[in-house]
Structure 1
């Protein structure tokens, strides 16, 4: 594989992107700093395929990134490969208003062919290539110039290794016929709505304190105000006010600006400074959340109660067994709240649709309805099906126990 010197000139970048545009796939990674700014500061971009790789310096004076951004967002013929690419995609979206497509994330893909929930890049390289990645440069200041050779070598390794690993993962996905399991996950990663900075929906990222329209209305107004303050000052939103403090102010709004000094998480200065006055103005003008903006109620059936909780625990045990049997990450199949909803009687769930129903949901439903049971054979836990009268009796016992509480 050819490794190019650090690219700092526009014509070099244009030539590279022209060649990569003819590839079936291009691996992408970024290095950035976001500790002190509202938007992540892009410091380095690494791209490559099976033949060549390069690091690109977006901080180089006069460098035109247009060919690179067009390759990533406007070329539908080239598959873009990332590992844990959410933040990389966010940066590209911030620069272009678009997301890379089509897209493939090796961290997500590993969930379909192993029990790895969130495998790190170093562990991915170790497991597929037997190579130990030098992590020494990982936490360096990528904004400082000049970059060292060690930094550049470390950064380019993120795409050169990925270019070798991706075909192996793809081969296994094809062999196991699990590629379609990942369609929805990859679409979610590439959905621009996940990265749009909409002031009206900024409050969604904060854990909502209940379902009181007045409280949620204040939370919505405060979250939008915080985004504007952070953008104007170009600092992380948490430097303005932390999520938990914002939620607390929405739930228990101070009556006067002087009362801000009593709010945990705010300094004494807020009782008479300009930002405190702006916050109080936002609280005064906040309106209750409209009915169409209210968050959906969680999908629940009857209250679980103690016995119903035991049924949910059995479903979680079944999930562990099935994930181990078919070598898949349990989180790709379902989540705890979905199993609790199934145990409580909810039947319109993702777990009961498509491939998830075939590989796990069908058995989960049979367990809840008394047609499946646990057994021990030769010291190993296994599943056994119950037929006829025994199944009816088991289902009645399960349903009765869940409703008894």
Structure 2
């Protein structure tokens, strides 16, 4: 599974996936997904890029246009019940997808939630740490904070975006095995199922209802 960050070259689309690649992705039962934004406030900041990768490592990068409110082909895939969408810290991505494109992603697997439930021997649950532990590779996160809203993305940004999704499907299988082994799979599944409700609460700015 080990491969160089630059070995996956994403297809680049404007506004939405093509019909052809959508039909190809529909055949898979897993899709890895990540999003890049101009900031972390879904009411203020724009959703700029959606990265998608299937089980065959076919990666796509969709640039979301200013003012865009729909992406029908992406919505078809992300709401299709037979395809598990895998995120790392899905809460943020799901919030932007709902707020900006009206997409209610389901079903979902979050590698960060899975890691926190399975890897209780550490407090390091970032994607970079997961990739290092399970694949012995170092991820370059240097382009994480960059201008994802510009019209033409750099080669480094494209490589970073593809690298952020290429490990997620494999991580899903590894972490699921750990959750089963430790008897925590049921808790994880309940957490994934609650993410949609949590996203709606975040958009209503009801983030602290469980605090004293």
Larger radius of gyration: 1
Aligned length: 203
1:100 aligns to what SS in structure 2? coil
Give 1:268-307 correspondences, 5 Å limit. none
Contact residue 92 and residue 99 of structure 1 kept, 8 A: yes
Give 1:136-215 correspondences, 5 Å limit. 136-191=142-197, 192-197=199-204, 202=205, 204-205=206-207
After superposition, the Cα gap between the structure-2 partners of 1:37 and 1:168, relative to the gap in structure 1 and judged at 3 Å, is: closer
Give 1:2-401 correspondences, 5 Å limit. 3-8=9-14, 13-34=18-39, 38-51=43-56, 52-59=58-65, 65-73=71-79, 75-115=80-120, 116-117=122-123, 119-191=125-197, 192-197=199-204, 202=205, 204-205=206-207
When you count helix as a share of all residues, which structure comes out higher?
1
The aligned counterpart of 1:278 is none
Gaps of 5+ in 2: 1-6
Contact residue 8 and residue 63 of structure 1 kept, 8 A: no
Shifted more, 33-42 versus 49-58: the winner is 33-42
When you count strand as a share of all residues, which structure comes out higher?
2
Contact residue 79 and residue 102 of structure 1 kept, 8 A: yes
Offset of 1:66 from its aligned partner?
0.9
2:162 aligns to what SS in structure 1? helix
Q: Which structure ranks higher in relative contact order (CA pairs < 8 Å, sequence separation ≥ 6)? A: 2
Offset of 1:121 from its aligned partner?
1.2
Q: TM-score, normalised by structure 1?
A: 0.45
Gaps of 5+ in 1: 207-294, 299-405
Q: Deviations over 1:260-299 (max 9, x none)?
A: xxxxxxxxxxxxxxxxxxxxxxxxxxxxxxxxxxx8995x
Offset of 1:62 from its aligned partner?
9.0
Contact residue 43 and residue 99 of structure 2 kept, 8 A: no
Offset of 1:177 from its aligned partner?
3.8
Q: Which runs of 4+ in 1 moved over 4 A?
A: 60-64, 295-298
Structure 2 distance, partners of 1:205, 1:149, is: 37
Structure 1 distance, partners of 2:54, 2:190, is: 25
Offset of 1:46 from its aligned partner?
0.4
